Structure 1
């Protein structure tokens, strides 16, 4: 399963956000509280001096570093519904491809997070936005015009070996499968998943016989006993309808 980098997305605004140094009273108070907690022996004057230093440092250009880190994150994009005409047109080779249905309670699909569709460009506030908030704003928010996708994402950021060890120690009570799921995070690239997570396969209305044979062969070689559907050709309604695919006859609803 490919977890793609945001650099390969068709929308240049997708997974992008603005960085802003928060020099408002809120940002200043946040830093003062942080230093008060971490360095209680510092005088008020020293804490204020450190606040000014941090705010000046955060203003320095770091776009390249931020972009490099976010570019390396792997993202799996999923949708809630199989029957979107736009999704078939955009992502399934103009209805010549397939739609694979997955179970939400198995393997990596348990980690899927729902996309939030917003009207304003997300702004990451420094220094108070933590790592998870940055990932949320940068990778899990999209423009409202994409709302039809009803998208969910699984995010895999590069994880250091020391971080993996720490997570395993903190969650030692979990089954080994769950620990692997939490720590197998290498950024963009291919990831294996439990084949039992595959729930169904739907063939597009324009799929070719050759493609069907390849799909059936793959399903059989994996030993999967799952329903296979085929989308019927246009029926004078703006609606996709699917029916059970008859494997034995290799019958197609359209001419090949």
Structure 2
């Protein structure tokens, strides 16, 4: 099985313009761009045949080529990372059995999240797409709820059926629990990890779908699959002591840098 890993990166983010070039300082004091740290995380994943940065911006292209990444230029008309991955696959001429989308705002993604994701989609032939989910402990859930109380989008949460196929994703905290959890408690809430694995035919079909009302309201690209009845597998992953967070807003930078320092990440 041949696997392409693409890192979609666009400069014109609505919430955080220039986000891929924002710098994060590691435990040793070295500052690297978000896209470089995401690329370094991608290069640690076993079972991947090719890693590319997919962008429409020359500033990102120059930065990525500067640290040694292969770059695929894509259209500025791509509405989201899934569309950009689909176009990158076309530009490369296809030839892969699976495409992984490691979004360029998740530099703390452990390699085993992606490895488990690839295996999960390979094992479930009924699924067209797969994405990781991480069970929240009480501390993580309380952080999500605090973000929402303060009008911030923290993480995305997921609910899924008994066969692990997704029912819904939301920037609200779902399911509603109505109870307090101690920091170390395991909760029924799952944090959606913004990584995807697609079969090539699913990517091709995605661009033919019309963005539905749920995708537009939530701003979550994966809902386009659900609104068109495409089976999407949720693969539960284990943190193994690693902290995880995505960079969604400028105020997430110190949070992620603190996590990197705690984990000794350079």
Q: TM-score range by the shorter chain?
A: under 0.3
Please identify the structure whose Cα radius of gyration is greater.
Answer: 1
In the superposition, the TM-score normalised over structure 2's length comes to 0.25
In the superposition, the TM-score normalised over structure 1's length comes to 0.26
